Amino acid sequence: MKAVRYYAPGQVRVEHVPEPEPGPGEVKLRIRASALCGADVRIHRHGSHRLVPPRVLGHEMAGEVAALGEGVTGWSVGDRAQVIGAIPCGACAQCAAGRLNVCTVLEAMGHHYDGGFAEYCVVPAKVLAVDGLNRIPAGTGFTEAVFAEPLSCVMNGQELVGVGPGDRVVVVGAGPIGCLHVRLARASDAAEVFLVELNKERLGRAAALVRPDEAICAADGRVTEEVLGLTGGRGADVVITATPAGEALEQAVHYCAPRGRISVFGGLPKGDPLVTLDANTVHYRELTIVGASASNPGQNARALDLISSGAVAVADLVSHRLPLERFLDALDIVERGDGVKVTFEP
């Protein structure tokens, strides 16, 4: 079968590899759609300590059940299914407390296990054990279902930071994740949603799709003034930084309203994670700054429901549908910020 395998930083090959077969408790999927994520681009550039090469990449995927390993019940060949990205152990103290996405031994598809950038993928027994294989409702396409993974991470971030009715929300970063943040905040009845982005073209493209109440180009250097102006001087109730730029967090404290909340959604570059925060502003305004990482299987299932019900539209976020052979082109598109979401239909 065709597969995209990672060997070392800068070395990803589209090659023919033997088809995997499911062991006991595992399910073999014929992949019908998968999508590229910023994390895949980072692996290609810098590698990952969580990943032993050669490894089939890809943690956003959906397909048809092609074969069942011994002992698997509840699934049949031909069933349509979507797979979680982060795989909790289900047994550690964090998992026991229901915080499965911060499992102390969290693993991931496309990192510890061969992922979805291939014609077939074996879903590990661990995924089934935590209800991480989701049935795709009739009427929902494979490509749409793939978005359940990134949307579940967005949902985790918004649940932790508490986006709700009446909130004035600023989303910083107009990539696919920023777009999903805007749409989920709308679905949660946020009063207003503003989208901030440095790259003017990318901002324009995203704004045309998700229609924020205002699109603010950070290159103009007036984000704080703009947000304060748009909120009658009050500031934002919630700021979500969906970008790897530390300045976004440094700036956010200045346009956050008293008692405002900030989601540090995007990680910063590995070698450059430090920021300089005005701690007095955090102190006097009683700001809350909260991290967000991955998602838990329950959120993934709910994200798929939101997509299927139409509460969060995703199909129009696909800017490029490419064959797996063009994987390197896909990396280029994402790195240049030229598209929104790039998907594969192997």
Region near Zn ion per CB under 5 A, out of 86-94, 221-229, 256-264, 270-278: 86-94
Q: Which 126-155 residues touch Zn ion, going by CB under 5 A?
A: none
Tokens 């800068």 belong to residue: 10
The answer to whether 218 touches 198, Cβ cutoff 8 Å, is: yes
103 near Zn ion (CB under 5 A): yes
Query: CA 43, CA 57: separation in Å to the nearest integer?
Result: 9
Q: Does 88 bind Zn ion (CB under 5 A)?
A: yes
Give the range of 98-106, 120-128, 195-203, 304-312 binding Zn ion by CB under 5 A.
98-106
| Interactions with Zn ion, residue window 20-49 (CB under 5 A) | 37, 39
Neighbours of 323 (CB within 10 A): 13
Quick check: 92 binds Zn ion (CB under 5 A)? yes
User: Please, which residue, 95 or 306, has the CB nearer to Zn ion?
Assistant: 95
The region of 82-90, 110-118, 192-200, 276-284 touching Zn ion under the rule CB under 5 A is 82-90
**From the list 17, 41, 89, 209, which residue makes contact with Zn ion (rule: CB under 5 A)?**
89
Instruction: Specify the stretch interacting with Zn ion by CB under 5 A; choose among 83-91, 186-194, 200-208, 232-240.
Output: 83-91
Which residues, at least 6 apart from 305, have a Cβ–Cβ distance to it below 8 Å? none
Count of CB atoms situated within 10 Å of the CB of 94: 17
Minimum distance from CB of 330 to Zn ion (Å)?
14
Which range binds Zn ion by CB under 5 A, 97-105, 130-138, 215-223, 298-306? 97-105
Can you say how many angstroms the Cα of residue 54 is from the centroid of all Cα atoms in its chain?
A: 24
Residue with tokens 């294989």: 133
DSSP assignment string, 35-59: E--HHHHHHHHH--TT--SSEE--S
Residues 6+ apart with CB under 8 A from 37: 59, 60, 150
What are the structure tokens assigned to 48, written together?
């990952």
Gap between the Cα atoms of 157 and 242, Å rounded? 10
How many residues interact with Zn ion (rule CB under 5 A)?
A: 7
Name the minimum Å distance from CB 91 to Zn ion: 6
170 binds Zn ion, rule: CB under 5 A: no
Q: Which is nearer to Zn ion, 91 or 315 (CB)?
A: 91
Q: Which pair of structure tokens corresponds to residue 198?
A: 């440095």
User: Which residues lie near Zn ion (CB under 5 A)?
Assistant: 37, 39, 88-89, 92, 95, 103
